[in-house]
Amino acid sequence: MFSAAAGYERYMGRWSRLLAPAFAAFAGVKDGERILDVGTGTGSLAQAVEAAFPEARVVGIDPSEAFVGYAKQRARGTFEVGNAQALRFDDASFDHSMSMLVLNFIPDHEKALAEMRRVTRTPPGVGTPYGTRVSAVNADGMIMTNWCSEMMTHEFGMDYISNGELRTKFIKPVLLGVQLHVKGKVKAVEKKNGGTLVTLDVWCEDEKGNKLVDGDAKVEVKN
Higher pLDDT, 223 or 62: 62
pLDDT on residue 11: 63
Domain residues of the chain, as ranges?
A: 3-137, 141-222
pLDDT band at residue 132, thresholds of 50, 70 and 90?
very low
Q: Determine the pLDDT at residue 181.
A: 85
Radius of gyration of the chain from its Cα atoms, rounded to whole angstroms: 20
Other residues' Cβ atoms within 10 Å of the Cβ of residue 205: 18
DSSP-H helix ranges across 91-140: 109-118
Residues near 60 by Cβ (< 8 Å), separated by ≥ 6?
36, 37, 40, 43, 45, 46, 68, 71, 75, 77, 78, 79, 80
Residue 11, CA distances (Å) to 19, 26, 29, 67 in order: 14, 25, 27, 14
Beta strand 34-38 with 134-139: parallel, antiparallel or unpaired?
Answer: unpaired
Predicted confidence (pLDDT) per residue in 152-208, tens digit: 888 888 888 888 899 988 887 776 667 778 899 999 999 887 889 999 999 988 888
Q: What is the CATH number of domain 3-137?
A: 3.40.50.150
State the pLDDT at residue 108.
86
* Mean per-residue pLDDT over the chain, rounded: 83
CATH code linked to domain 141-222:
3.10.129.10
Q: 117 and 93 in contact (C-beta within 8 Å)?
A: no
pLDDT at 38 over 90: yes
Sheet holding 211-222, edge to edge: 165-170, 211-222, 195-206, 180-192
pTM: 0.62
